[in-house]
Chain A
Amino acid sequence: MKIVLLILQLAFIESAFGEEKVIYEYKKYEKFDLGNLEVQGELIAPGDISVRERDRKKFNLDFYERKDFSSFVKQDIEAFR
């Protein structure tokens, strides 16, 4: 009886540690008939692909322009004394 149990135990250990080789095989050729494919549902997108146009950011900076010469007037009056 002991011998039988030992054999079973050994067999169990072997099955537990032993590696089983799995081989995956892919189909080498498959044909789709796109013409026959049907999609059920409603069309909600526009018929063609479009990108909305947007304006490029324009800087149009304001540049300093002299409107008076008050600082020059002050300087000139002070330049006398």
Chain B
Amino acid sequence: MWAVEILQGNIKMSEYKFSEDQEKEIATIFAKYPVKTSALLPLLTLVQRADQLVKPEAMVAIGKKLDVSPAYVQSVLSFYTMYHTEKVGKYMILFCINISCQLNGSDKLLEHTAKKLNIKVGETTFDEKFTLHREECLAACTEAPMMRVNDTYYGNLTEQRIDQIIDLLD
């Protein structure tokens, strides 16, 4: 068992390269803070937006930029729910099920959405187009029930509206 893990550790990871544009963006991010580590969350977000996940080699690269260990990067990353280390679909559907949405029938609507996408909550569709997650309150309680698809909020959901939204995404 140890041998396996040792191997894992020793597998030479390919070096992660930031694109030129990313490097430029990183420079503007750094300029915001007097202390480098503050750029950690923004850098993780940057990488994830490009790759749809954060790979171990990216953690190493970010650690190098910020002078922290890759373990530190992973420790921080794993604390936040918005970072993924496994690939997710092109559209990430976060379905709020917290109190205000619950009171407005979100559980049923979530079920409906899952059925429509033909997956279970937490899964990604076979064509890697949609990932469906249960989500805690997204600060749009007055528009409950609501969901967030990538960066867009959709409120006052009904079954029909959900179908429409999903059908319009390509």
A-B complex is real: no
A contacts, CB < 8 Å to B: none
B contacts, CB < 8 Å to A: none
